[in-house]
Amino acid sequence: MTNGVLSYVRRLFKNPSITESDLYGSMGDFIQAEEQQRFCATCPGIALCKYKGLRWSVSAKKIFGRKIIVAELGKCVNRERKSRQRKMERLIRASKIPKAMKRCTFDTFITTGDPMIRTAKGLAMASVEDGASIILGGGTGVGKTHLAIAMVQETVSRGREALFVPVVDLLDEIRSGYDEGTADAIQEAVKEADCVALDDLGAQRSTSWVSERLFSVIDARYRLGKQTVITTNACSMSQLEKMLGERGARIVSRLTEMAQPLFIKARDFRTRKNVQQRLPVGK
């Protein structure tokens, strides 16, 4: 048995001078590793894998200055790839991006040669890289929502949790949640996600309750240092403050501390027929 294991390890490392004293651990582990290597050479896929995606591997390590060879159990590449794919699918489902808007990526965002639009796209892409919070403001049709969704999708593609949440819909869900017992869970999810895009801030009907809820969410994300993306039709922070009602000053104070604002002055994409026909452009 030992000779068979030695022969296998010597072939594996292309080193005929390896001896039994160089092997660390059970001979049975090395035998299992050799058998599995033969099975995995014609991998039938995770669904048909008799090892359930677990994989014995043989490697050389150095312990206390001495080189040893060990057989260890870990995950195979295919299992890890499948696990990443499942995580990605879960994150995509959880992101709440409307089906019709999933085409909104950085690749499909057309700057049409407009310097301000190029700046907005560059800021959004840079913010994904460094995890910074941003505020995209300006009139309708300049691509704010498109960029917010692109940021969420890119964040998800990197294995981080991200949510796209229209503010009006969020408030409606919280109201409904009081009857269903889910209001707290909804608010906690939005407060704690790695990245949240709050779309169309300022479009909500302003009441004391609304202003309080928005402050609670934004203040929590500020205190937790979470990346937050804001889109708004406001063209300045002072205008946004007025749109936010009773707690407007406090909300804007938090946003000013946590996020880089960019107010986009450009023509409405949706007035440009060639762009309108190509992709669903956000606000």
- Report how many domains make up the chain: 2
Q: Are residues 96 and 55 in the same domain?
A: no
Torsional sign, CA 112, 100, 163, 251: positive
Q: Which of 28, 48, 76 is the last residue of a domain?
A: 76
Together in a domain, 265 and 135:
yes
Residue 82 inside a domain? The answer is no
Phi-psi label, residue 279: left if phi above 0, alpha if psi -120 to 50, beta otherwise: beta
Give 117-142 pLDDT, tens digit per residue. Answer: 999 999 999 999 999 999 999 988 88
49 lies in the same domain as 108: no
E strand or H helix at 29: helix 27-40
| Highest mean pLDDT out of 15-24, 25-34, 39-48, 72-81 | 15-24
Higher-scoring residue by pLDDT: 229, 40: 229
CATH assignment at residue 231: 3.40.50.300
- Report yes or no: 26 and 14 within 8 Å, Cβ to Cβ: no
Which residue range is the domain that position 11 belongs to?
A: 2-76
* 3-class DSSP state of 57: strand
Task: Please check whether residues 135 and 35 belong to one and the same domain.
Answer: no
User: Do 239 and 120 fall within a single domain?
Assistant: yes
Task: Show which of 30, 57, 76 is a domain's final residue.
Answer: 76
Q: Does the reported pTM lie above 0.85?
A: no
**Could you say which of 18, 46, 76 is where a domain stops?**
76
Confidence of residue 1 (pLDDT cuts 50, 70, 90): low
